[in-house]
Structure 1
Amino acid sequence: MIVECYSNYLICVGGTWNPPKYRAIEKLLFIPTESEIDYLIASCGNKTGTFLQLLKETGARCGEAWQLEWTDIDTERNTVCITPEKHSNPRILKISQRIKERLLDLPKTSKYVFGGTNLKTTTRLFERSRKIAAAKSKNPRLNKITFHTLRHWKATIEYHRTKDILHVMRLLGHKNIKNTMRYTQLVDFGEQDYTVKVAWTLEESVKLLEAGFQYVCDYEKAKLFRKPK
């Protein structure tokens, strides 16, 4: 990263150099458990906890969520409209009744849901609460959780749930699917139990798909579908 930054700087100023050769070490993203995330959310104050819950449910970047305006919340459909960062795509994301109520309970002191203040202040408060929570629970893994970690967690969980990489790509607002592919093998969730259904007609197949079942294969004249229990 430093080598690349310095090389780009020299291009701007017309300089040259012989950059050292190195091999970047790729590390897997840290994915906490849901119980660790929920414990950390419960350990924070109302505003910070609500912010974390929104990140957990939507997978939005922290800057995108921080710029959320009251007019971006659709209370009838339980959705939020995300204005993109980093040249990504805008998107409308589903939220739970719980987080909707928490958002609407925040003080309305600005057109921004979280007040429009500097995100760095909330980051410092979060880091302080995180340190206390890690010490209290004797779980140092909590100290590895950042705002962006919740985006990684959401993407990983959604891919595990749907096995649909295009769905995850749309959820995150990625324009390049290569950025999304890294979430496909992050966590081994082990064996999973499924509810299996058989459809003999087009109407039965449509009903199963609408109920969240995934098509598996044909068997004789039937179609097999499954859904995680």
Structure 2
Amino acid sequence: MSKTIRRGPLRLRPYILDGKPTGEWQLDIPPHVTMTGRRERHKFPSRQQALDEANRQLMEIRSKGVIGYDTIPLARITLNEATRQWCENEKRRVRTLKKRKSSLESNLHRLKSILTFMGKDDVARITSRRMEEFQEHRLNQGRRPSTVNADIIVLRAVMKWSKEQGFVPEVPTVEPIPEDRKRVELPTQAEVSLIISALPSRLGVLARLLAETGCRKGEAFNLEWEDVNLVGQGYVEVRPKEGDGWTPKTRQSERRILLSDGLRDALASLSTKSSYVFPGRDPDKPMDNFRKALAAAAKKAGVKKHITPQTLRKAFMTWQAERGIPEHVLQAQVGHAPGSRVTKRYYIQATEEAKEKAVFSLRVLNAPNR
């Protein structure tokens, strides 16, 4: 009499080695219900442990939906292989100037966690439910909702390419994780002036550049003197460096930034011995860290707020919005794409000063005595 136990499509049986029972039990999972499309076998020390796992697997299979995995035709290509081919396609796009190298590098970084979790899955088995499982997995790892949502965007890009190649009939969708807007206490213009005064001269000019133009710290750090014009209307140009050098974040980031007369004169006072406007300890390399000096200057100036280069960028956009600068002009200043929702959603904030100015008082006429 067979000792095989069935649980739906799953089978359990004693594990036999060299014709002799080992006391262990083996769980056989057929290929049509696995994520990889390949048969899986797992061993357990006891019959009960094997049964428990079989029941758990059966519940999971049934929870996938009414259709069931056995009706989904396999693509016969794993996400690992699909991603490899997608990357080759994206590298061609980089070589033909249709995509930035930095953008592809960011994609590859995000794909690491995706492939660790589901790289062996057949692409046809990557469903909305599977994406939700990945979201849950990443949140359990302590990742922020914005990070997980960005991971999903890259995964869907690979799945979209897979659909174009005929590997999958459609691109699965998943509801994004709500992102709480992080509240940052912005410094006032007076507080930033105090911080700039508390910094060494060159770093003070750097802080002023960030606060008066809203440029990204990487744009400021990689600024070279050949990118700076100090004659007449001063300006700096954000542009990619030759060869495999630094590149701006996006195409919209390539721009000319006009300078105030005061900032132009401050830049003109700096040494030009290095090719970089703000060199690091090695004069042949750009500065790469400014946070500690900025935090120390804020403390020295008595500003009890967390100040970073990103804080100054947000402060600039907020001040410009309060001045009534049109959004399309502001986006051109800071290197955001025209019409981007990022500017308002993540950068412009309602300061306490603006809220105080917005207090409204209705003039109420005294009612006649009756």
TM exceeds 0.5?
yes
Aligned to 1:187: 351
Aligned equivalent of 2:278, options 98, 101, 114: 114
CA distance in 1 between counterparts of 2:286 and 2:274 reads 13
Residue pair 2:235, 2:257 contacting (<8 A) in 1 also: yes
Encode CA deviations 1:9-34: one digit per residue, 9 max, x unaligned. Answer: 24334157834267543223332111
**AA partner of residue 114 (structure 2):** I
Residues 8 and 94 of structure 1: CA distance in aligned 2, closer, same or farther (over 3 Å)? same
Aligned to 2:316: 154
Residue pair 1:28, 1:186 contacting (<8 A) in 2 also: no
**Pairwise CA RMSD:** 2.8
CA distance in 2 between counterparts of 1:168 and 1:41 reads 23
Residue pair 2:222, 2:286 contacting (<8 A) in 1 also: no
Encode CA deviations 1:203-222: one digit per residue, 9 max, x unaligned. Answer: xxxxxxxxxxxxxxxxxxxx
CA distance in 1 between counterparts of 2:218 and 2:110 reads 28
Aligned to 1:12: 115
Q: Structure 2 regions of 5+ residues with no counterpart? A: 1-107, 122-129, 140-176, 240-246, 359-370
1:85 aligns with 2:251: no
**AA partner of residue 311 (structure 2):** T
Q: Secondary structure at the match of 1:186?
A: coil
Encode CA deviations 1:17-52: one digit per residue, 9 max, x unaligned. Answer: 834267543223332111111111110101110100
CA distance in 2 between counterparts of 1:157 and 1:7 reads 34
Q: Structure 1 regions of 5+ residues with no counterpart? A: 193-229
Deviation for aligned residue 1:68:
1.3
Residue pair 1:29, 1:186 contacting (<8 A) in 2 also: no
Aligned to 1:127: 295
Aligned equivalent of 1:37, options 192, 203, 207: 192
Residue pair 1:80, 1:93 contacting (<8 A) in 2 also: yes
Residue pair 2:295, 2:307 contacting (<8 A) in 1 also: no
Residue pair 2:221, 2:287 contacting (<8 A) in 1 also: yes
User: Greater relative contact order (Cα 8 A, min sep 6): structure 1 or 2?
Assistant: 1
- TM-score, normalised to structure 1, is 0.68
Alignment of 1:149-228 (within 5 A): 149-175=311-337, 177-182=340-345, 183-187=347-351, 189=354, 190-191=356-357
Which has more radius of gyration? Answer: 2
Deviation for aligned residue 1:8:
3.9
Deviation for aligned residue 1:166:
0.8
Residues 181 and 25 of structure 1: CA distance in aligned 2, closer, same or farther (over 3 Å)? closer
CA distance in 2 between counterparts of 1:82 and 1:157 reads 22
Aligned to 1:101: 265
CA distance in 1 between counterparts of 2:257 and 2:205 reads 16
Equivalent pairs, count:
182
CA distance in 2 between counterparts of 1:85 and 1:56 reads 19
Residues 102 and 184 of structure 1: CA distance in aligned 2, closer, same or farther (over 3 Å)? closer
CA distance in 2 between counterparts of 1:35 and 1:168 reads 22
1:72 aligns with 2:227: yes
**AA partner of residue 264 (structure 2):** K
CA distance in 2 between counterparts of 1:140 and 1:127 reads 10
Alignment of 1:19-34 (within 5 A): 19=134, 20=136, 24-34=179-189
CA distance in 2 between counterparts of 1:66 and 1:31 reads 22
